[in-house]
A and B are shown apart, each in its own frame.
Chain A
Amino acid sequence: MPDSVLIRIARGESAAVNECIDGFGALVWSLARRLSPNRDDAEDAVQEIFMDVWKSAARFDPAQGSEKVFIATIARRRLIDRLRRHATRPQFAGEEELDALGFAEPGTRGEISSEAERAAEAIAQLGPDQQRVIELAVLHGLTHSEIASRTGMPLGTVKTQMRRGLIKARELLGIEAAGDGGGA
């Protein structure tokens, strides 16, 4: 089995850099577009995210998850940090947009990665309230309070549903603790 592209980047193989961008550029760009206030900001974010990926590549452990999840973790972290740093919010939080984007049903997407299918299957096993609060937090970046406001659920209920749902999803996805106290 060939070494992962991240492991080869960590070894300093320059060809792996191109492979990484080819393989995950669309993922990073799509996340940046969704979690950035505008296109220019998304472009800046993509550059920062890949710099973070190069620097963190040596920490990638295939036993803890796929490269795709590793890179998505780094991307989300950077994007959230940028939003908070610039005190901005992505411009997709309107009701129409909230309704338009949700989790996919398992087996309903044509070209789907195994990671995405596993995630969809995990989501499908959660209760409806858990799915809704997780969707608003994970896909739309809403805070607990914002979710309570949007859904009409009491804040305590939002937190409980979120907590239980994510812990269950963690188990379903087989997310393992990193040995050194941290993953990506």
Chain B
Amino acid sequence: MTAPYLNDERLVDLLIEQATAGLGSEELAELETLISRYPNTDRTEIERTVAALTLAGEFKEEPLPARVRERVLTAESAMRGRAATSDLTERARSRTPAAAAPSRAGAQAGWWAAAAAVLIAIAGWYPRLASRPVVAAADSGRAELIASTPGLVRWEFAPPGGPAPKAASGDVVWDPVSQRGYLRLKGLDANDARQSQYQLWIFDGERDDRYPVDGGVFDIPAGRTEVVIPIVARLRVGKPALFAVTVEKPGGVVVSGRERIAVLAKAAST
């Protein structure tokens, strides 16, 4: 049986054009007007027909490059991580009224310049994996990890390019065996999670620098001078070389634009 809308030549022309080359705004508006005359119309019938016919093209399918595959997996991981932890983030937000966005980060020109120097060779940031976003303080867990892990490694946060007006500080402890660690930060401004969140990135010396590990997003509650945040990487980080915290949109990003780097920590001692 032919659906009624298929007798409307102009409507079908527009649906075909939309499915094959796309429509401009005026044509799109016209399409919406026309299709509204046919309630319960499946507007994807033509589009699905076009997609099905595409499969008859004589082009050979090329294998998906491994690098692209990894990008897709990374993005999926980040998407799933954000969805799974949005509730945690929301709860943390409700417990700790957010203060102003971390605007100080934008004023620390020396930090930006130093960060840019450190990262100058990096063509583009694509996180290799996403870990669980982190939101809660974990002082006792950090202390327990330090006490029970002889092979623990530690990195200090320090401005890499000279003094900052109000330098943030802190450290990272990381157990390469259990792949667990904690981020301890002091002096970072509280963030308004509705506007921005902090995001951790881990550069792995055994991997391509263009693909830092996404360490998840976290918030700095108002009134806290120090926060301890657990790091849980779902894929192995072989040789951490640099930790970076950026300020990103709520929920974090898959690819950081690096415009707002809050702190950096390079491997210093083991």
A residues lining the B interface (CB < 8 Å): 14, 17-18, 21, 25-31, 33-34, 43, 46-47, 50-51, 54, 64-65, 68-70, 72-73, 75-77, 80-81, 83-84, 101-104, 109, 113, 115-116, 118-120, 122-123, 134, 137-139, 141-144, 146, 159, 162-163, 166-167, 169-170, 173, 175, 177-178, 181-184
Contacts and interface: CB of A to CB of B under 8 A. Distances in A.
Given A65-B48, A76-B19, A183-B42, A104 B71 contact: no
B52 A26 contact: no
A33 to B, nearest CB: 7
B140 interface: no
Given A83-B22, A178-B42, A26 B51 contact: no
B63 A29 contact: yes
Contacts of B57: 101-104, 138-139
B75 A50 contact: yes
Contact of A30 (B9, B42, B46, B62): B62
Contact of A103 (B46, B56, B80): B56
Interface stretch (B10-18, B94-102, B111-119, B185-193): B10-18
A77 B71 CA distance: 21
B52 A80 contact: no
Contacts of B48: 64-65, 69-70, 73, 175, 183-184
A54 to B, nearest CB: 6
B52 A27 contact: no
19 contacts: A14-B80, A43-B65, A46-B68, A65-B52, A72-B54, A81-B22, A103-B56, A103-B58, A122-B52, A139-B59, A142-B20, A143-B21, A144-B17, A159-B13, A163-B12, A166-B12, A170-B46, A177-B42, A182-B44
Contacts, number: 193
Nearest to B24: A84
A18 B76 CA distance: 10
B21 A141 contact: yes
Majority SS at the chain B contact face: helix
A116 B56 contact: yes
A120 B42 contact: no
Interface residues of B, number: 50
Interface in B230-270: 254
A162 to B, nearest CB: 6
A136 to B, nearest CB: 9
B16 A101 contact: no
Contact of A175 (B49, B60, B62, B71): B49
Nearest to A139: B57
Q: Which 10 A-B pairs have the closest CB atoms?
A: A25-B64, A119-B56, A177-B42, A73-B51, A183-B44, A72-B51, A26-B61, A137-B20, A84-B22, A116-B55
